[in-house]
Each structure stands twice: as structure tokens, then as C-alpha cells.
Amino acid sequence: MSSREVVVLSVGGVRFVTRASTLQQFPESRLARMVSDNDQEFKLVNGEFFVDRDGALFSYIMDFLRTLQVSLPTDFSDYQRLQREAEFYGLYPLANLLSQEHLLKPRLEILEVRFSLQEMQAFFRIFGSCSTTIEALAEQITVFTGQQSGQGWNSPFPSQKTLVPLPLERPSHHDMLFLCGTEYSAGDQFVARYVSIKPDKRKLINGTNVLGLLLDTLLRDGFRLISTRTVASEEKVECYTFERMKRAAGLAIMVNQTPGSSGVAQARRSQVQKGK
């Protein structure tokens, strides 16, 4: 059996097909011993190893063996059951990580958009509990400015005019400020500020339109609107609060073979940042 490259397992009625080398990532585990016919509890039936355990949880075991990382769905809650399965298979590095479930649980991310509409201008301030989200938004949002003749709030973007991009105000790593609209300059001249939010290519000057595009962008990015309130009625400041479950950083197991260990895998834990 040890010479076979492909191994088929039926775990609780769920069929898995993998390489023998994948099951041998941790040489002292029961799965590695199974491949070498050194664990009699795993019965070979019609060319498949039958394992009377939870097949759904074993899919996470297989993902761990293939990637050497623990990355669980945001709605996962069976940490103790999965830890018990890892212990059954002799995957103690995985079991040790699962015992520290606070490292693996997703975190709730809060983001707040404050919007103020004053005459011909609209002011935006975005607060976020996660600085990386604010950094990503800052890369998506661009404010362009230019001096226009007789331009009002509802005037379209004058494509023949040259506009200059402005840097966003960043009071801290967790918030940013920008505004759009027009303000009187001199004579019939107005200073106009347009906002563009990637991947949308439009340059918008109307604050209500910018707000709508910003909220749609956040919803597409996985945020959920949980409340809308007025925080300063005299200044017409509206606050939109969003939340999103942010996936925890993946935890990786680094497997090293040490001299004199007789093939015993040594493991150490390191954090690997995952995407959102």
C-alpha cells in the first residue's frame, strides 16, 4: 500500500481522494501509519479505507494536510469537535491550534460613514475599526479639483477641463476626510471638487450621488448596513454604520525534519495574513 500514490478514503460515508504523500505530512500521525498498513483500525474495503468518523469535519483535516494552514469559514463554530477529530488522527499540532480558538475566530469589523450636506458642498468622514480597510478605501477614492466658469451643483463633469487630483485628509490610520461640490471663488468662477470611487469611472460632484456610490461600494465589499442616524441635526450630519465579519489570519504549521528525529515532524506556529 505504501507504494501507491493515490489513496481513497470513505470517512463517515464521504469519499476523499488524495495522495499518499499528503497523508504522510506528519509521519507519527495515524493517517501516515494507515498508509503504511500500521494502523489496523482503518479497514481497507474494496480498495478504499473506511473510517467511521465525521466526514464533514474531515474535509477541514484534508485542507490542513494539503495547505499546512488552518483557515475556517466565518460561520464555523465546531472548534472542540474538530479538535477532537484532530486528536483522533494524531494531528497534535492542529489540535493545539484549535485549542486556541480565539486566534481562529473571525472578528467583527465596524465602519462608520458621516455625511453632511451644506449648500453646494458635501462633507464625508469615514471611520473604521480596521486600518487596512481604510487604507484600501483611500486607494479607491480620488478627489479631483479645478476652477470652472458658472458651474453649479448639478453641472456634469466638463470633460474638456483639466482636473487635478487632491490627496485625501487622513487625521489617523482609522479615518479619512474628503468633500465634493462647488464653492464660490471670484466673478463667475467656482472651485469644483469631483469624486471618483474605483472601479466606477465616473467623476461625481453631487454629494447625494457620491454617498450612494460609496454605500453601494461598501455593500459589494461585504459590509452590512446596521443603522442610520442623525448625529447633529443643526449641521445635518447623518451617520451610516456598517459591520462585516473579517476572516481571522490563517495559522500555518511549518514542518521541519530534524536530524536524529526518525522522521518525526517538528511544528511551529506562524501567522499568515489572509485576504478579506
Domain chopping of the chain, boundaries: 6-104, 108-151+158-246
Is the domain covering 6-104 a CATH 3.30.710.10 domain?
Answer: yes
pLDDT of residue 176: 95
C-beta contacts of 67-73 below 8 A and 24+ residues apart: 68/25, 68/252, 68/253, 68/254, 68/255, 69/250, 69/251, 69/252, 69/253, 69/272, 70/94, 70/97, 70/98, 70/104, 70/250, 70/251, 70/252, 70/253, 71/247, 71/250, 71/274, 72/104, 72/248
Reduce the DSSP state of residue 206 to 3 states and report it: coil
pLDDT of residue 14: 94
The fold for domain 108-151+158-246 equals Gtp Cyclohydrolase I Feedback Regulatory Protein; Chain: K (3.30.1410)
pLDDT of residue 43: 80
**Distance set, CA 232 to CA 19, 115, 215, 237 (Å):** 63, 10, 20, 5
pLDDT of residue 185: 62
Q: How far apart are CA 127 and CA 138, in angstroms?
A: 12
Main-chain phi, psi angles of 249, to 5 degrees: -60, 140
Profile the chain (276 residues) by mean pLDDT over runs of 10 residues.
74 93 92 84 85 94 91 83 94 89 80 91 94 93 81 50 86 93 71 93 93 95 92 82 76 51 38 38
